[in-house]
Amino acid sequence: MASADRLNPNRAGSRCAPASALGLSDIDWDAPWLADWRAVGEAVARQVLAGCPQPDALNALDLAPVRFVPQSDLPEGQAYEDFIFATGQVPTREGLHDFFNALCWMHFPLAKKRLNALQAQEIARAGVGQVRGPVRDAATVFDENALLIQASDAMWAALTEHRWTDALVGLRAEWAHNRVWVFGHAALEKAVQPYKSITVHMWRVPQGVSHDGVDAWLAQDLMQAKLSQKPFSPLPMLGLPGWWSANEDPAFYEDAHVFRPRRRAVGGQKPHAIAEMPAVP
C-alpha cells in the first residue's frame, strides 16, 4: 500500500498503488497460477495491447455482474467500494492491478459482490477513517491476497503450523490431488515478476465443494464474524509443488527468511503484516 496521505487507501476515493511498473505484455500465460485465468485473460490482454481501452475490452466479454469504467468516473471524495456498491461500476485504471481485479470479478462474481457489500456496509456504519475496522481490513487482505486451498486435514495442519518440509516435501504426492484457486489480484500482479517470498494468505475450502461450486460457497462463507477473526495463514506462493522449478530441491524450503517458523502474533499483528523479502534479480 502507498503510505503517503494522498494515496492512503483508507481515504475516500483512494486506491492501492500498483505493485510494479510492468504491463500486460509481461504476463506469462503459461505460469501455473494463471491456468484458470488464461482462457479469458489472454484474449482481453491482447485487445488492450492492440490499443483498446482496458475497461472497454473487459466489458465486451459481459462476464461480470458489474461494468468497468475509467478511473476518472470515480467522484472526488467518494470511497471506491461505496461507488461500486451504489452504481454497479468498477473504476478501472490501465495496467496489471486493475486488470487482474477485473478478471477476478469474472471468475468469482458472487464472492466479489459479497466482499463489496461487506465493505459498503462497514463504510455506511462507520464511515471512512484513517484506520479500517477489522471486517474491512480482513476483506481487503482477502481481496488482494487470498489463495483458496482444498486439502487434507494433515496437509492443512502442516501448512498452518508452518511445518513446511512436511507439507511441501513429505506430503508432496498429495499435491496432485489438492485444489488451489488464486483469488488475490495483488498477488497475481506480483507474480508477473516472480520472486521467492511472494506470500499469499490461505483460506480453506471444504473437501465437498466442487470446482464449479466454489464461488457460491465462498460468497456464503465470507461472513463478517469469520473475517473479523482474520482466519488467514500465510504461504510463500512459489513453494507450491509444480509452481517453481527450484522447489524440486528440498533445500528450497530451508530458507528461513521466506519459509518462516510459526510464531505467536504480537500485539494483534495483522495477517498481512508478515513482511515479504525484496524481489531478487
Q: How far is CA 235 from CA 66, 107, 209, in A?
A: 31, 22, 22
**3-state DSSP helix/strand/coil % of the chain, to nearest 5:** 50, 10, 45
C-alpha span between 27 and 193 (Å, rounded): 8
Residue type for 256, please? A
pLDDT of residue 13: 38
State the cell numbers at 190. Answer: 506480483
Residue type for 83, please? F
HSE, side-chain direction, 13 A CA sphere, residue 237: 30
Tracing cell 506462493 back to the chain, one arrives at: 237
C-alpha span between 87 and 73 (Å, rounded): 11
Instruction: Say which DSSP state 234 is in.
Output: E
Tracing cell 468498477 back to the chain, one arrives at: 90
pLDDT of residue 133: 76
pLDDT, tens digit only, all 281 positions of the chain: 233 332 333 333 334 445 556 899 999 999 999 999 999 999 999 999 999 999 999 999 999 999 999 999 999 989 999 999 999 999 999 999 999 999 999 999 999 999 999 999 988 886 765 556 788 889 999 999 999 999 999 999 999 999 999 999 999 999 999 999 999 999 999 999 999 999 999 999 999 999 999 999 999 999 999 998 888 999 999 999 999 999 999 999 999 999 999 876 555 444 444 444 333 33
Sign of CA dihedral 134, 138, 140, 141: positive
Predicted TM-score of the model (pTM): 0.86
C-alpha span between 113 and 136 (Å, rounded): 14
C-alpha span between 185 and 112 (Å, rounded): 12
Q: Cβ atoms within 10 A of the Cβ of 240, count?
A: 19
Strand pairing report for 146-150 and 179-182 = antiparallel
Host H or E run for residue 216: helix 214-221
CB 84 within 8 A of CB 75: no
The CA angle 81-112-95, to the nearest 5 degrees, is: 70
Q: How far is CA 81 from CA 9, 178, 220, 236, in A?
A: 11, 33, 19, 28
State the cell numbers at 103. Answer: 478478471
List, for residues 5-37, the tens digit of each pLDDT value.
323 333 333 344 455 568 999 999 999 999 999
Three-state DSSP class for 280?
Answer: coil
C-alpha span between 49 and 54 (Å, rounded): 9
